[in-house]
């Protein structure tokens, strides 16, 4: 993984000024101003960070006029600067923006529509501004419900930036301490594990984590998993491998919290990532794509799971679910439904995965392809030796060619591809062609 010089802070595909890449004067000046003004914990992408002036659909336009195809950003789920979101936000901002202690109808209309996308008994929703806040709230609910404190997560998970969420996010690096009652299980590695063994290995890891938490006296409040294991390198198949894990968690009266911030809202070709596994979580966390970039997130769960917390603990988030963000979220829902983007993600996602598998056949150091819908990954290196340096070079080669992706996984050797949902067949083909060329260039360099 890349790291900022002298800091020990690791970040896949992170800009490192010590790498001495020549930058154009405008970009260099912006970085200097950023370093003087913004907090020192911020990071930039790519060896040559991009100075962005505007964006529309899947296309970013740099301050120098150059355009880039965005094949990585899942936050603007329906595309950058979508006119439906802009119009809805403008209308609502000119009408009313307040908190949920007043009665307003749009939040109820949206909630009814959104809850209809979930299986029973997931029937109540609580709004926050960010996915980190939503994870924090879900953990509070789980601990209140169970009377226990222990949390089980994957060993390279990312769940957010509050104290609780960061304490459940080992992917933030070795200097980020985990919570006292948090236990990790090994990252799933579908590239190197026989498909028939994946569910059993995961179940065995969870049993061990339960034993550890019980020995500590913490007990188990919840298993918290990103339904696509995005930070663990995108682990999607075989569909259904989470079912034994769900049964084990229910057997110890703990809760299953599905982090749907990244796989949710149609990205996997289903409305929710957990649907691919045939399970129904106790709590679901929603975030980034929900408002196409505006700050709205939520916890969805059964009334039974949430009732005790709601009766005994006062929760209020001043602008969680405010009318302006609800307007944005409503517009997102409208566009996903009207344009058939869930089905579209499944169809174009098949094209993406087929193309990635073809690259595995064509390139010696493309080891394993996988994905679900518009969430794809390609491991670089060999079965015995992941190659994060190669992954970094390929990511930056594609950036120079005008296509933006990134890397993921414990070794940062898994290319991660997740374009906004309206990506076209032609754009998907361009992603694959550019990746093919980047891998071919690497082979020429090393031959």
Specify the 3-state DSSP secondary structure of 249.
helix
Q: Is residue 32 in a domain?
A: no
The pLDDT of residue 447 is: 62
Q: Is residue 171 in a domain?
A: yes
Beta-bridged to residue 414, according to DSSP, are: 379, 408
Q: Is residue 141 in a domain?
A: yes
Specify the 3-state DSSP secondary structure of 366.
strand
Do 290 and 357 reside in the same domain of the chain?
A: no
Q: Is residue 383 in a domain?
A: yes
Burial 387-419 (b: 16+ CB within 10 A, else e): bbebbbbbbbbbbebebbbbbbbbbbbbbbbbb
Do 260 and 403 reside in the same domain of the chain?
A: no
Q: Is pLDDT at 7 greater than 50 in this prediction?
A: no
Do 326 and 423 reside in the same domain of the chain?
A: no
Neighbours of 160 (CB within 10 A): 25
Q: Is residue 24 in a domain?
A: no
Spatial distance between the Cα atoms of 52 and 385, rounded to a whole number of angstroms: 36
Do 284 and 315 reside in the same domain of the chain?
A: yes
* Of the residues 338, 371, 391, the one at which a domain ends: 338
Do 279 and 383 reside in the same domain of the chain?
A: no
Where residue 372 sits, what CATH number does that domain have? Answer: 3.90.1150.10
The pLDDT of residue 2 is: 42
The pLDDT of residue 20 is: 61
Query: How confident is residue 5, by pLDDT bands cut at 50, 70 and 90?
Result: very low
Where residue 194 sits, what CATH number does that domain have? Answer: 3.40.640.10
- Chain segment 310-337, per-residue pLDDT in tens: 999 989 999 999 999 999 999 999 999 9
Do 76 and 185 reside in the same domain of the chain?
A: no
Q: Is 409 left (phi over 0), alpha (psi -120 to 50) or beta?
A: left
The pLDDT of residue 16 is: 85
- Chain segment 30-87, per-residue pLDDT in tens: 999 999 999 998 989 999 999 999 999 999 999 999 999 999 999 999 999 999 999 9
Do 226 and 313 reside in the same domain of the chain?
A: yes
- Chain segment 232-274, per-residue pLDDT in tens: 999 999 999 999 999 999 999 999 999 999 999 999 999 999 9
Per cent of the chain over pLDDT 70 is 97
- Chain segment 129-150, per-residue pLDDT in tens: 999 999 999 999 999 999 999 9
Count of domains forming the chain: 2
Do 329 and 354 reside in the same domain of the chain?
A: no
Q: Is residue 42 in a domain?
A: no
Q: Are 376 and 417 within 8 A, CB to CB? A: yes
Q: How far is CA 360 from CA 195, 328, 369, 420, 445, in A?
A: 18, 40, 7, 24, 19
Q: Is residue 30 in a domain?
A: no
Do 276 and 323 reside in the same domain of the chain?
A: yes
* Of the residues 338, 364, 381, the one at which a domain ends: 338
Do 442 and 321 reside in the same domain of the chain?
A: no
Q: Which domain holds residue 93?
A: 83-338
User: What is the number of alpha carbons within 13 Å of residue 421 lying toward its C-beta?
Assistant: 32
- Chain segment 95-138, per-residue pLDDT in tens: 999 999 999 999 999 999 999 999 999 999 999 999 999 999 99
Q: Is residue 41 in a domain?
A: no
* Of the residues 338, 372, 396, the one at which a domain ends: 338
- Chain segment 359-403, per-residue pLDDT in tens: 999 999 999 999 999 999 999 999 999 999 999 999 999 999 999
Do 332 and 347 reside in the same domain of the chain?
A: no
Residue 116 has which token pair?
Answer: 């209809």
The mean predicted confidence, pLDDT, of the chain is: 95
Spatial distance between the Cα atoms of 298 and 369, rounded to a whole number of angstroms: 32
Query: How confident is residue 21, by pLDDT bands cut at 50, 70 and 90?
Result: confident
Q: What is the pTM of this model?
A: 0.95
Do 252 and 319 reside in the same domain of the chain?
A: yes
């Amino acid at each position: 993984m890349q790291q900022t010089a002298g800091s020990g802070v690791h970040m896949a595909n992170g800009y490192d000024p010590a790498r001495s890449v020549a930058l154009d004067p405008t970009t260099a000046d912006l970085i200097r101003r950023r370093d003087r003004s913004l907090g020192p914990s911020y990071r930039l992408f790519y060896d040559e960070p991009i100075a962005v002036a505007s964006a529309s659909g899947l296309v970013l336009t740099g301050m120098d006029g150059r355009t880039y195809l965005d094949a990585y950003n899942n936050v603007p789920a329906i595309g950058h600067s979508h006119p439906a979101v802009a119009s809805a936000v403008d209308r609502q901002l000119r009408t009313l923006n307040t908190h949920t202690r007043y009665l307003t109808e749009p939040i109820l209309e949206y909630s009814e529509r959104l809850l209809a996308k979930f299986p029973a008994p997931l029937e109540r929703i609580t709004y926050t501004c960010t996915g980190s806040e939503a994870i924090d709230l879900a953990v509070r609910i789980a601990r209140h419900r169970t009377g226990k404190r222990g949390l089980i997560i994957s060993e390279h998970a990312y769940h957010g930036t509050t104290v609780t969420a960061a304490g459940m996010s080992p992917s933030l690096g070795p200097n980020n301490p985990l919570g006292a009652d948090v236990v990790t299980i090994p990252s799933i590695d579908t590239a190197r594990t026989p498909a028939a063994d994946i569910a059993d290995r995961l179940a065995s890891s969870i049993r061990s984590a339960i034993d550890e938490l019980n020995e500590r006296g913490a007990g188990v409040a919840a298993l918290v998993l990103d339904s696509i294991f995005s930070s663990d390198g995108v682990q999607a198949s075989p569909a259904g491998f989470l079912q034994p894990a769900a049964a084990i968690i229910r057997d110890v009266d703990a809760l299953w919290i599905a982090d749907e911030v990244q796989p949710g809202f149609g990205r996997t070709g289903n409305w929710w990532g957990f649907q691919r596994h045939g399970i129904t979580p106790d709590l679901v966390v929603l975030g980034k794509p929900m408002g196409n970039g505006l700050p709205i997130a939520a916890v969805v769960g059964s009334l039974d799971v949430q009732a005790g917390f709601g009766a005994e603990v006062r929760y209020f988030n001043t602008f969680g679910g405010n009318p302006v963000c609800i307007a944005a979220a409503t517009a997102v829902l409208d566009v996903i439904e009207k344009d058939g983007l869930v089905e579209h993600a499944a169809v174009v996602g098949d094209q993406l995965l087929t193309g990635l598998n073809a690259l595995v056949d064509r390139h010696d150091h493309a080891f394993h392809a996988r994905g679900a819908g518009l969430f794809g990954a390609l491991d670089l290196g060999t079965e015995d030796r992941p190659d994060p340096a190669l992954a970094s070079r390929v990511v930056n080669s594609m950036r120079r060619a005008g296509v933006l992706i990134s890397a993921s996984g414990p070794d940062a050797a898994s290319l991660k591809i997740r374009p906004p949902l309206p990506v076209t067949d032609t754009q998907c083909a361009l992603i694959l062609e550019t990746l093919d060329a980047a891998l071919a260039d690497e082979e020429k360099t090393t031959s």
